Amino acid sequence: MIFTPATWEVTPGYVNYDEAVARMQARAAEIHAGTADELVWLVEHPPLYTAGTSAKLEDLQEPGRFPTYKSARGGQWTYHGPGQRVAYVMLDLTRKHGSFPPRDVHCYVRALERWMISTLADFGVKGEIRQGRVGVWVVRPDGGEDKIGAIGVRVTRWVTWHGLALNVNPDLSHFGGIIPCGIREHGVTSLHDLGVKASMEEVDAALKRHWDVIFGLGDEDFCLRDAG
């Protein structure tokens, strides 16, 4: 199939979570029907917690602190809020994207990880993946690890929705209301927490550059099943 680039959209301000989910579902159905282009949608949300399909009630540490939502994405609890770039990705996985094969959800998740890692590298931050821990991590000087980017995806009739959340400059104390992704032994961080005072616009520009390489016509072989 001939490659055509996804539509790229950035919404200013804060997007209500329910509205975002409704739009993703509608767009995914249109992509499946062949009536809409694939979409990369960049948003910020007001402070909120979402529970993925594997979330445990006991991992919500502070009920009532922020609104909570059940989410159709995979994974456990996560936080969204100002200063965090959320990228909702709606792709038809029956098509070829970058170097990974069609209908391969594992490789699609690897591509999302690589997208964040390549973006972080533009700011001098080394992002890494870990076996059994979806998302992107950074190693602290003391050898500990903090999560800087989360991934949670849903695939419906081979069309993806939901996506990733990259911490640019959120209030990290807001993560204290949950056990992020069910992982108690590691923390969370952000670009600003690491001393990188990048703007959201600069991060968006880096995301766009690396999207074109990883999901476009690039040939980088990042889909390693034993990675991490």
CA distance 119 to 121: 5
In angstroms, the CA 36 to CA 63 distance is: 39
**Could you please report the per-residue DSSP string of 123-182?**
TT---EEETTEEEEEEE-TTS-EEEEEEEEEEEETTEEEEEEEEESS--GGGGGGB-GGG
Annotation says 223 is catalytic = no
Q: Measured between alpha carbons, how far is 75 from 83 in angstroms, rounded to an integer? A: 22
User: What is the CB neighbour count within 10 angstroms for residue 153?
Assistant: 20
> For residues 61 and 57, what is the distance between their CA atoms, to the nearest angstrom?
9
Q: Among the options 43, 165, 181, 207, which is catalytic?
A: 181
Q: Which of 12, 161, 150, 27 is nearest to 80 (CA)?
A: 150
Beta bridge partners of 178: 60
The residues assigned a catalytic role are 181
